[in-house]
Amino acid sequence: MSKLHCFRCKTVVLVETEHYPKIRFFQCPSCSRRYAKQTGRKLTYRWLEAVTLPLYRVIFFVKPVDHASDVARKFAAWYSREQLEGIVTEIRLELDEPTQRVRDTLDCKASEGELRQYLSIFCECVERILLERFS
């Protein structure tokens, strides 16, 4: 297997952290982002990375966009301001500079386009909630 590189650090080679028959896990020694690579698939962010968190809430929905504001409200109740800002920053990075098919991170049912639209609306909703709460 050729060396895998961090999506964000670009030139930093990932370090394998776990290995199972059908999936391998990696981490960037520079930024600590975590990745997964299933046999026969491309590298994706690992479950519990910021991009995957709101995706998990809509994993089985074909039309996740309809749930974006509700999921954002739940996140606002569960996470601190700093955590929410970090999640939004990471998602915006992925939306602005795509590195992977986000639907592959959790085998989501919705299309790639639907999921990216959902993530964008989710970010807008979280940002609106933060503005209302902290302005």
Q: Which tens digit of pLDDT belongs to each residue from 84-111? A: 999 999 999 999 999 999 999 999 999 9
**67 shares a domain with 21:** no
Q: Are residues 56 and 21 located together in one domain of the fold?
A: no
pLDDT for the residue 133: 87
- Identify whether the C-beta of residue 25 lies closer than 8 Å to the C-beta of residue 49: no
Residues 97, 129, single domain; the answer is yes
State the alpha helices, DSSP H only, in the chain.
Answer: 52-56, 68-78, 81-96, 103-106, 112-134
3-state secondary structure of 15: strand
pLDDT at 28: 97
Let me know whether 67 and 121 are in one domain. Answer: yes
**Domain end residue (candidates: 14, 30, 46):** 46
* pLDDT for residue 134: 80
Which pLDDT value is given to residue 46? 95
Structural domain range at position 18: 1-46
Residue type, 115: L
pLDDT in tens, 7-48: 999 999 999 999 999 999 999 999 999 999 999 999 999 999
- Identify the band that residue 1 occupies on the pLDDT scale cut at 50, 70 and 90: low
- Pair 36, 57 in one domain: no
Residue 131 has pLDDT above 60, yes or no: yes
pLDDT > 90? residue 2 = no
Q: pLDDT digit string (tens) for 62-81?
A: 999 999 999 999 999 999 99
How many domains does the chain divide into? Answer: 2
